[in-house]
Amino acid sequence: MPHGQRLVAPLSLDQAAALHRAWRTKDVVEIIDIGEATTISSRARGVMIRMLGQGVRGAIVRGKGAVIERWNMWSRATASTAGKLGHME
Domain boundaries, the chain: 11-58, 62-89
Amino acid at 51: M
CA-CA-CA-CA torsion sign (41, 42, 47, 50): positive
> In sequence order, what are the residues at sequence separation of 6 or more whose Cβ sits closer than 8 angstroms to the Cβ of residue 60?
51, 54
In the chain, % helix, strand, coil (3-state, to 5) comes to: 70, 0, 30
Read off the pTM.
0.45
pLDDT value for 17: 87
Given this model, what pLDDT does residue 88 score? 46
Give the list of residues 6+ apart from residue 51 with CB closer than 8 angstroms, or none: 60
The alpha carbon of 22 is separated from its chain's Cα centroid by a whole number of angstroms, namely 22
pLDDT at residue 84, as a whole number:
56
Show pLDDT as tens, one digit a residue, over the chain (89 residues).
455 555 566 778 888 888 788 888 888 888 888 889 888 998 899 988 988 888 888 887 766 665 666 667 767 777 666 555 554 44
Task: Give the pLDDT score at 10.
Answer: 74
Residues 6+ apart with CB under 8 A from 22: 30, 31, 34
Q: What is the pLDDT of residue 1?
A: 46
